[in-house]
């Protein structure tokens, strides 16, 4: 049985998390996620040293979905660079030839990491903290890059729900990743009890934790 449900997608929550990190970090990043266009060879991001008195090093790297550090099929250039006080620079994610081996009918997710390295303190018994920003990086094959007309009908609207016992299963028939940050019975209802945000892989299904049928209105 297919049921209707009200979802909230990920962008606002992701923005809130990353803005909080950047507000406390010396090295700031100009975005909260990266979409790597498969028709391009690289994607560049702006970084800023928000400290107007001290230089910082910025170290970048990429992890796979399991959190393992990788150097192919994507690589960060330069891996480490120095930013003078108050100055801007760029960091680039470069595709290597191995990128052609990735699935071309769906997105692949990675994680871009940017760590700030402060200058060594000349004060005795001082504690230095290096903050790190970690954002999602989606490799989107060229065949999936949408035009303006296609973007007017978001793929998130294609999600469906299936009744499985006393719970709901959310189905993603699209080739894109979708993150759910909220689920409720209707637009004006409260968030379903014990709902936990989740990221749904392309052409995959997951159970909605805490969304129980017994708390739903009678479908008849």
Whether residues 64 and 107 fall in one domain: yes
3-state secondary structure of 75: strand
User: Which residues have C-beta within 8 Å of that of residue 198, sequence separation ≥ 6?
Assistant: 179, 180, 206, 208, 209
Whether residues 53 and 106 fall in one domain: yes
Q: The domain that contains 44 carries what CATH number?
A: 2.60.40.10
Q: How many domains does the chain have?
A: 2
Mean pLDDT of the chain: 82
Whether residues 113 and 43 fall in one domain: yes
Write out pLDDT tens, residues 25-77.
Answer: 899 999 999 999 999 999 999 999 999 999 999 999 999 999 999 999 999 99
Q: In DSSP terms, which residues pair with 155 in a beta bridge?
A: none
Residue 50: phi, psi to the nearest 5? -75, -10
Whether residues 180 and 132 fall in one domain: no
Write out pLDDT tens, residues 77-123.
Answer: 999 999 999 999 999 999 999 999 999 999 999 999 999 999 887 77
Neighbours of 40 (CB within 10 A): 12
**Would 19 be classed as within a structural domain?**
no
**CA atoms 143, 102, 77, 12: torsion sign:** positive
The parent domain of residue 105 ranges over: 27-120+128-142
């Amino acid at each position: 049985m297919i049921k209707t449900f009200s979802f909230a997608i990920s962008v606002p929550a992701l923005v809130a998390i990353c803005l909080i990190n950047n507000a406390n970090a010396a090295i700031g990043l100009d975005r909260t996620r990266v979409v790597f266009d498969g028709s391009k060879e690289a994607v560049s991001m702006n970084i800023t040293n928000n400290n107007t008195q001290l230089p910082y090093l910025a170290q970048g790297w990429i992890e796979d979905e399991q959190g393992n550090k990788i150097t192919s099929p994507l690589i960060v250039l330069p891996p480490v660079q120095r930013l003078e006080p108050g100055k801007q620079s760029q960091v680039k994610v470069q595709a290597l030839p191995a990128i052609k081996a990735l699935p071309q009918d769906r997105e692949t997710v990675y994680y871009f990491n940017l760590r700030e390295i402060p200058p060594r303190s000349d004060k005795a018994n001082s504690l230095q903290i290096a903050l790190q920003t970690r954002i999602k990086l989606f490799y989107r094959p060229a065949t999936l890059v949408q035009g303006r007309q296609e973007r007017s009908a978001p793929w998130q609207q294609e999600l469906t729900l299936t009744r499985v016992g006393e719970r709901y299963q959310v189905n993603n028939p699209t080739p894109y990743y979708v993150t759910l940050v909220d689920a409720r019975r209707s637009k004006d209802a409260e968030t379903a009890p014990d709902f936990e945000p989740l990221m749904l892989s392309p052409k995959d299904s997951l159970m909605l934790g805490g969304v129980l049928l017994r708390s739903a209105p009678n479908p008849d």
